[in-house]
Amino acid sequence: MTKRVLLATLAAFAALVPALAVAPAASAATGTISNGIAWTAKPDAGPSNPLQNQEYCTLGVVGTDSLGNKIAISAGHCVSAVAGGATEFPDGATVYRFLSTGTGDPIGTIAYRDPSIDFVVIELNPDAVLSSNGPEVRIDSIGPSNPDGELCKAGVRTGVTCGPIYRQAASRINSFVTANGGDSGGPAFVNDTQLVGMTRGPFEFVDFSAVLDGIATQSNPVGKGFAVTNN
């Protein structure tokens, strides 16, 4: 190697080093997303405190739509003051995993919500790994549109509780099942693994058949043709 070539090579390397030093680190992978995990749309939600802080909700179900988008569905009032929540978050806002220490890494964005039925469709990050196995239950299919007998729910705040269904009206299922702040949006299920609704409040659940009907009427194609993951 001639002296001129050597000097040119060293100069090119020296110019590259600063660029390498300031290059941003690759973002962390989204990881596994399942029913029953805690989430929040608040970028600065504080640590979980059952008596004071309930700035989080529970994911009801995950799956894919007909376009192949990875989707999560939960309660609309988690992001909508119109639906009875504390804060109105706009469509397109980032959704985060919620940890015991507070807001965690981003997992997706709000596609849209329906305040009257009370659901929100979340478009998950493309690298999310979907799982039907939640922290407490497996949700791998959709149950009957008019369930009867015993209903169970899973929520981050109060875990799994069960009770008999005593009424169904419009987009609601009522059951003697306990729930509390933080459980909102979590799966309500029958036959161990079949989703029929999502927690709205104590003894009140959003009928999932109404959610699917609501998704079908949206102009936004995200979420249409939703199918529960069975991985």
pLDDT digit of tens for each residue in the chain (231 aa)?
Answer: 444 433 444 344 344 333 333 333 334 599 999 999 999 999 999 998 876 678 999 999 999 999 999 999 999 999 999 989 889 999 999 999 999 999 999 999 999 999 999 999 999 999 999 999 999 999 999 999 999 999 999 999 999 999 999 999 889 999 999 999 999 999 999 999 999 999 999 999 999 999 999 999 999 999 999 999 999
Give the separation between CA 140 and CA 147, rounded to whole angstroms.
17
Give the CA distances from residue 129 to residues 61, 142, 159, 217, in Å, rounded to whole numbers and listed in that order.
13, 20, 23, 28
pTM (predicted TM-score): 0.87
Give the separation between CA 157 and CA 49, rounded to whole angstroms.
10
Element (H, E) at 204: strand 204-207
Of the candidates 158, 208, 122, the residue with the CA atom closest to the CA atom of residue 50: 158
Give the separation between CA 108 and CA 70, rounded to whole angstroms.
9
Under 8 Å between Cβ of 72 and 122:
yes
What is the pLDDT at residue 53?
A: 72
Amino acid at 9: T
Residue spans of the domains in the chain: they are 32-228
Three-class SS of residue 3? Answer: helix
Count Cβ atoms below 10 Å from residue 183 Cβ, excluding itself.
Answer: 27
Give the separation between CA 96 and CA 93, rounded to whole angstroms.
10
Amino acid at 229: T
Architecture category of domain 32-228 in CATH? Beta Barrel (2.40)
